Structure 1
């Protein structure tokens, strides 16, 4: 129990130190005026209610186009890599399925096949079932990556318009009353 309490307090202290901001103080001679550095305001995109739906529509039409609309060019190769991998495994499993199916058809027609004497008829049936299942999984993975591409474009378009600035702070709070009881808590401050 003491270890958990110690870890909790350590966590609160670490959050507290990371959340406090400090100004750089400059030592100056008397009579010298020093201007404080001007902080640049972060530029946020103005709210556009149609931006998320546009990004999702673009990604649905052509995967990666919604990411390009959002300016996340680095995500486009990831989307195409995932889709290409799913398509590759589908085609490979389809090729293997056709290979074992043709061998099975030849075997039940009493014609020679490429697995004659090495693989039993039951093993040919199991191989067909195995590759059929893998084809279906490959299709599901490819469709899942396609949908994930659309959802990613939509969510990123929403988050690009979310205003995050220093007026929103999260600070731990440690409060002691005059009796000696300690109250722990977190405070969320929103300044205008």
Structure 2
């Protein structure tokens, strides 16, 4: 009996499996696979012309700005080099106009700034050396006097500077502080002269490309301006007319 029971269960399992397989095959036959993928169609407007970019158009370059950058760069490397460069620009501009000579004072002014710059550096250097020497003298004197106050044995006391005997201890300390401050001011002045050198080179280079020829003129003439709100009954008001010619 168990043998028939196992056979019955096996037959039932096979029957269910066959029915499931047939149903799957039927479903695949009813629903065919669509292998063609739909792609969106892009609408192209034929009547819209494309904008063409003119690559041959040259970009505007400001010559004054370029010259100013070069002048600043040269002045940063060597003080006064930017002024010499500006003098070269001046000569090129005059030669382009056909003016071989002339503008003597303008050239002299441009070149004299180089001498002023180095004269300033020279005076500052002399002042710095003098301040440092005096600072060391008064510093040494202050140290000697401070050590002598601590010595109880007169034989071990050091000799003071005979040129500074007339100065008291407070005066020696004050002089030392003054000369030290002067040295610091001179160092700051070095940077100030250096900065002025760079700024002057920049401004002069930009001015070389400004239009300052003889065609520029300004005329001021008296005129009358209408004034409908005048309380005196007159519509004309005195005025000045300014005319600029380029």
- TM-score, normalised by the number of residues in structure 1: 0.68
Equivalent residue number for residue 86 of structure 1? 124
Indicate the structure (1 or 2) with the bigger Cα radius of gyration: 2
Equivalent residue number for residue 156 of structure 1? 204
1:60-91: per-residue Cα shift (whole Å, max 9, x none)? 11111111111132221111001111121111
Equivalent residue number for residue 40 of structure 1? none
Gaps of 5+ in 2: 1-61, 88-109, 149-157, 227-233
Q: In structure 1, what is the Cα distance between the partners aligned to 2:132 and 2:211?
A: 48
1:145-177: per-residue Cα shift (whole Å, max 9, x none)? 111011101100000011112443211120147
Q: Does residue 186 of structure 2 align to residue 138 of structure 1?
A: yes
Residues 174, 182 of structure 1: 8 Å contact kept:
no
Q: 2:86 aligns with which of 46, 70, 80?
A: 70
1:26-67: per-residue Cα shift (whole Å, max 9, x none)? xxxxxxxxxxxxxxxxxxxx9243210111111111111111
Residues 87, 139 of structure 1: 8 Å contact kept:
no
1:84-142: per-residue Cα shift (whole Å, max 9, x none)? 11121111111111110011111112222215632111111100111112112212222
Q: In structure 1, what is the Cα distance between the partners aligned to 2:75 and 2:204?
A: 12
Q: How many residues end up aligned between the 2 structures?
A: 146
Q: 1:174 aligns with which of 203, 222, 243?
A: 222
- TM-score, normalised by the number of residues in structure 2: 0.54
Q: In structure 2, what is the Cα distance between the partners aligned to 1:84 and 1:141?
A: 12
Give the aligned CA root-mean-square deviation in angstroms. Answer: 2.2
Secondary structure at the residue paired with 1:174?
strand
Residues 170, 186 of structure 1: 8 Å contact kept:
no
Secondary structure at the residue paired with 1:112?
coil
Structure 1 pair 108/186, CA: closer, same or farther in 2 (3 Å)? farther
